[in-house]
Amino acid sequence: MAETTLEVGDRIFVNFAGEPEQRGFLRYLGPVDGQKGTWCGIEWDDVTRGKHNGTVNGRDYFRTREPKAGSFVKRELVSGGKNLFSQIEERYAVDEDNEENEFMGSRMVEKVGMQKVHQKQRDIFRLKMIVLDGMRVAKPPPLSTPLFSCCSELNLHNNLLHRWKDVFDIVNYFPNLRELILRQNAMENVDRVDAFADYPDVKAPVFHLVLNYCGVSETTITAVLSKFPAVTDLYASGNCLTSFNPGGITKKFQARRPRAQSDHQLRFDRLGKRDYWARFLELDELPRFGGCAFRTISKPENAVFEGNPLNEWSAINALSSLKSLSTLFISSANFTAENGMDVREVLIAKLPTITMLNRGDVSVVERRSAEMRFVNRYSQLAEALKAPHEADLKRLIAIHGEPIKETVKKGISVIRVKLIYEGKMVERPVPASITVAKLQEIAARVFSLDPSGVTLFVEKEGRTPDELSILARQLSFYSIEAGDTIRIDA
Tell me the CATH number at 202.
3.80.10
Query: Do 21 and 37 have their domain in common?
Result: yes
Residues 294, 281: Cα–Cα separation, whole Å: 11
Query: Do 223 and 364 have their domain in common?
Result: no
Query: Do 293 and 431 have their domain in common?
Result: no
pLDDT surpassing 90 at residue 416? no
| Domain residue limits at 438 | 414-489
CATH number assigned to the domain comprising residue 55? 2.30.30.190
Read off the pLDDT of residues 232-245 as tens digits, 9 standing for 90 and up. Answer: 777 777 776 655 55
Query: Do 178 and 265 have their domain in common?
Result: yes
DSSP string, 367-408: HHHHHHHHHHHHTTS-HHHHGGGHHHHHHHHHHH-SPPPP--
* First CA to last CA distance, the chain: 48
- The predicted model scores a pTM of 0.53
Does the residue 179 lie in any domain?
A: yes
3-class DSSP state of 471: coil
- pLDDT score, position 315: 78
Examine the fold and report which residue of 245, 273, 301 is the final residue of a domain before the chain moves on: 273
Give the Cβ contact number of residue 2 at 10 Å: 5
Does the residue 429 lie in any domain?
A: yes
- pLDDT score, position 171: 97
- pLDDT score, position 108: 44
Query: Do 182 and 219 have their domain in common?
Result: yes
Query: Do 76 and 87 have their domain in common?
Result: no
The CA angle 235-247-328, to the nearest 5 degrees, is: 20
Instruction: Give the number of C-alpha atoms closer than 13 A to the C-alpha of residue 260, restricted to the C-beta side.
Output: 8
Examine the fold and report which residue of 247, 273, 299 is the final residue of a domain before the chain moves on: 273
pLDDT surpassing 90 at residue 182? yes
Confidence band (pLDDT; 50, 70, 90) for 87?
very high
Does the residue 99 lie in any domain?
A: no
Examine the fold and report which residue of 57, 80, 103 is the final residue of a domain before the chain moves on: 80
Query: Do 140 and 252 have their domain in common?
Result: yes
Instruction: Give the number of C-alpha atoms closer than 13 A to the C-alpha of residue 294, restricted to the C-beta side.
Output: 21
- pLDDT score, position 164: 96
Does the residue 2 lie in any domain?
A: no
3-class DSSP state of 275: helix
- pLDDT score, position 38: 93
Query: Do 299 and 346 have their domain in common?
Result: yes
Count H helices, E strands: the chain? Answer: 11, 26
Query: Do 282 and 398 have their domain in common?
Result: yes
Read off the pLDDT of residues 362-387 as tens digits, 9 standing for 90 and up. Answer: 877 678 878 988 998 898 888 888 89
The residue-averaged pLDDT of 85-95 equals: 80
Query: Do 252 and 167 have their domain in common?
Result: yes
Number of domains in the chain: 4
Confidence band (pLDDT; 50, 70, 90) for 339?
confident
Does the residue 59 lie in any domain?
A: yes
pLDDT surpassing 50 at residue 255? no
Does the residue 113 lie in any domain?
A: no
Residues 438, 97: Cα–Cα separation, whole Å: 10
pLDDT > 70 in the chain, percent: 76
Confidence band (pLDDT; 50, 70, 90) for 103?
very low
CATH number assigned to the domain comprising residue 312? 3.80.10.10
CATH number assigned to the domain comprising residue 458? 3.10.20.90
187-201, 295-309, 382-396: which range is least confident on average? 295-309
pLDDT surpassing 60 at residue 220? yes
Residue scoring higher pLDDT (151 or 256): 151
The phi and psi torsions of 130 (rounded to 5 degrees) equal -120, 120
Does the residue 110 lie in any domain?
A: no
Query: Do 376 and 456 have their domain in common?
Result: no
Does the residue 114 lie in any domain?
A: no
- pLDDT score, position 61: 95
Within 162-236, strands assigned E span 179-181, 208-210, 233-235
Closest CA to 302 of 264, 266, 262, 274: 274
- pLDDT score, position 240: 65
Confidence band (pLDDT; 50, 70, 90) for 332?
confident
Confidence band (pLDDT; 50, 70, 90) for 72?
very high
Query: Do 303 and 201 have their domain in common?
Result: no
The residue-averaged pLDDT of 159-179 equals: 95
